[in-house]
Amino acid sequence: MFPQITEISVFCDLSHLQNLLNFLYKKCIFGLLKFMSVYDKYEVVIGLECHIQLLTKTKMYSSDVAEYGGLPNTHVSVVTLGHPGTLPVVNERAIEFAVKLGIAVNANIREENQFARKNYFYADLPKGYQITQDKTPICTGGYILSKLKDGTEKKVALTRIHMEEDAGKSLHDIDAFDTLVDLNRAGTPLLEIVSEPDLRSGEEAYAYLTEVRKLVRYLEICDGNMEEGSLRCDANISVMLKGANEFGKKVEVKNMNSFRNVQRAIDFEIIRQIDLLEAGKSIAGETRSYDAVKDLTFSLRSKESANDYRYFPEPDLQPVFITQEYINKVKANLPTLPAQLFKTYTATYKLSEYDAHQIIELKEVAAYFNELVKLTANYKGAANWLMGPIKSYLNERALSFSDFKMKPARIAEIIALIDEGKISNSAASQRLFPELMEHPEKSAKEAAKELDLIQNSNSNELQGLVDAALAKFPEKIVEYKSGKVGLLGLFVGEVMKLSKGKADPKLLNQLVKETLEK
């Protein structure tokens, strides 16, 4: 019944396990090599279509409030519903926002802007058509520059940016039996940004989107919140053999609700398409959806069954004319944009590219830094404080930068205390900074004194401590003098201990060295 001892020992023989591991390892490596060589034969082509919801008070063609949330179907007038006899009116602020974005991406801005109707039937489209721009997008050309992980810069050309209105929202998961429709979003102003097929990987798409979001946030035309749907993106993906002179058949992927998921959907699609081609099959031109839970894309509809939108010029709207004078006015009121800040930070303030990018990432952080450097000439110190102690403090408490209320002047005071050798860096970040967060009314100097953090920089007093410390190590001093200079740390550490951590490290080092050399 029971296995005999010999059988057990065979079962436990490690060489079997080793063989198995070896086999699996070879299979993995072989698979990886095969994958890489196959993958390497192809070039990936990606173009993105982004929709950004504009931060206007009212809708694109009516005076309904354009606000996220609100009780369902409360921001819906007869104009939004397209009742007979009602007329749309173009939202001037939306035009201004489009021009702002156009200037920021170096696009050509069209003088005569017409609107067009895109017709289709859907429950969340009350008018039965969407007012958009067809042949006359407000912006053409321009580009977005982004930085990849390896530091290289990627330039993606833009095809067009056009104005349109959003549809309502179909809610499938609130009621067990029916789909509910909320028309509050119907008519919200959108800009659609269409890129040229210039992107070559999921990573590049991610970097591009990050840049788009940064830009629209700096311009304050969109909150860039992909999770809430105010920034949406469809990815067009195809693969072709390297060196081919024609792009492959493209597949459009929708329904990604984060930048990460855009990257994942693209990565999945690349492998799916290459696998199909390698198996001798062809790619179907279709629209697919991304399932974030399963991390895969699945077919929604084929291109053959695509709608015919029967575009025609919107008869209820006059064209909008944009003059050069108007463009100049908008340009004059543009905030300083990330690219300009980057130049200033690296050229004038001599920050590293990495530090500069970190600070520019969020407009509020950059604004804070701009105030801070008016109060200190230690630019690197200012950057370090923002990216170090302040960031950690906020992260640990799950706060965002807008919750950070300490005045730039306080940080400048702290930096000055450190630079003057009055307090150590670690005392400043670990004790003084938290104290000042609790007591914004205190000055940095007051708080440092109260906490007894002011370093001992009186050299007479320090000299006494140095002598006392050295007296403890007569043999070590001999060793030091015979060349074991690494012992310096021991002596310095001892004096620091005697000073209860308050000696100015720079002065201390110098004094110990001088004393030893006497």
Nearest-CB residue for ligand ADP: 47
**CA–CA separation, 35 and 278 (whole Å):** 11
Q: Which stretch binds ligand ADP (CB under 6 A): 125-133, 242-250, 456-464, 500-508?
A: 242-250
* Contact call for residue 236 and ligand ADP (CB under 6 A): yes
Strand partners, 130: 118
Least distance from ligand ADP to the Cβ atom of residue 209, Å: 13
**CA–CA separation, 86 and 76 (whole Å):** 13
- Looking at residues 174 to 213 of the shown chain, list those that interact with ligand ADP (rule: CB under 6 A): 194-197
- Ordered alpha helix ranges (H), 284-428: 324-332, 338-343, 353-360, 363-372, 379-385, 391-396, 408-419, 425-427
CB of 141 closer than 8 Å to CB of 157? yes
Least distance from ligand ADP to the Cβ atom of residue 48, Å: 6
**CA–CA separation, 206 and 391 (whole Å):** 24
In the shown chain, the binding pattern of residues 249 to 268 toward ligand ADP, with x for contact by CB under 6 A and - for none, equals -x------------------
Nearer to ligand ADP, 88 or 137 (CB): 137
Q: Which stretch binds ligand ADP (CB under 6 A): 80-88, 245-253, 316-324, 504-512?
A: 245-253
Q: Which stretch binds ligand ADP (CB under 6 A): 67-75, 185-193, 230-238, 327-335?
A: 230-238
Nearer to ligand ADP, 136 or 236 (CB): 236
Least distance from ligand ADP to the Cβ atom of residue 47, Å: 2
Least distance from ligand ADP to the Cβ atom of residue 285, Å: 8
DSSP conformation letters of 234-277: EEEEEEEETT-SS----EEEE---SHHHHHHHHHHHHHHHHHHH
Using CB under 6 A, count the residues that bind ligand ADP.
15
Q: Which stretch binds ligand ADP (CB under 6 A): 32-40, 63-71, 235-243, 395-403?
A: 235-243
**CA–CA separation, 285 and 301 (whole Å):** 9
Least distance from ligand ADP to the Cβ atom of residue 252, Å: 7
Determine the residue type at 363: K
469 φ, ψ to 5°?
-70, -45
Number of neighbouring beta carbons within 10 Å of residue 514: 12
Radius of gyration for the chain, computed over Cα atoms and rounded to the nearest angstrom: 32
Nearer to ligand ADP, 197 or 421 (CB): 197
**CA–CA separation, 484 and 493 (whole Å):** 16
Nearer to ligand ADP, 196 or 371 (CB): 196
Least distance from ligand ADP to the Cβ atom of residue 197, Å: 4
Nearer to ligand ADP, 49 or 371 (CB): 49
Least distance from ligand ADP to the Cβ atom of residue 136, Å: 15
State both tokens at 431.
């004790």
* Contact call for residue 247 and ligand ADP (CB under 6 A): yes
Helix (H, G, I), strand (E, B), or coil: what is residue 515? helix
Nearer to ligand ADP, 287 or 499 (CB): 287
**Pairing status of strand 139-140 against strand 143-147:** unpaired
* Contact call for residue 134 and ligand ADP (CB under 6 A): no
DSSP conformation letters of 105-169: TT-EE-SEE--EEEE---TT-TTSEEEE-SS--SEE--EEEEE-TTS-EEEEEEEEEEEEE---E
Nearer to ligand ADP, 46 or 383 (CB): 46
CB of 154 closer than 8 Å to CB of 204? yes
**Pairing status of strand 312-313 against strand 320-321:** unpaired
Helix axes 459-470, 505-517, angle to 10 degrees: 60
- Dihedral through CA 68, CA 73, CA 79, CA 83, nearest 10? 150
Q: How many residues does the structure list for the chain?
A: 518
State both tokens at 83.
């009742």
Least distance from ligand ADP to the Cβ atom of residue 195, Å: 5
Nearer to ligand ADP, 250 or 264 (CB): 250
Least distance from ligand ADP to the Cβ atom of residue 283, Å: 10
* Contact call for residue 142 and ligand ADP (CB under 6 A): no
Least distance from ligand ADP to the Cβ atom of residue 51, Å: 12
Nearer to ligand ADP, 196 or 446 (CB): 196
Least distance from ligand ADP to the Cβ atom of residue 247, Å: 3
In the shown chain, the binding pattern of residues 35 to 74 toward ligand ADP, with x for contact by CB under 6 A and - for none, equals ----------xxxxx-------------------------
**CA–CA separation, 212 and 214 (whole Å):** 5
Nearer to ligand ADP, 100 or 250 (CB): 250
* Contact call for residue 435 and ligand ADP (CB under 6 A): no
- Looking at residues 459 to 498 of the shown chain, list those that interact with ligand ADP (rule: CB under 6 A): none
Helix axes 324-332, 92-104, angle to 10 degrees: 80
Least distance from ligand ADP to the Cβ atom of residue 88, Å: 25
Nearer to ligand ADP, 154 or 250 (CB): 250
Nearer to ligand ADP, 286 or 494 (CB): 286
Q: Which stretch binds ligand ADP (CB under 6 A): 107-115, 167-175, 246-254, 365-373?
A: 246-254
Q: Which residues bind ligand ADP (CB under 6 A)?
A: 45-49, 194-197, 236-238, 247-248, 250
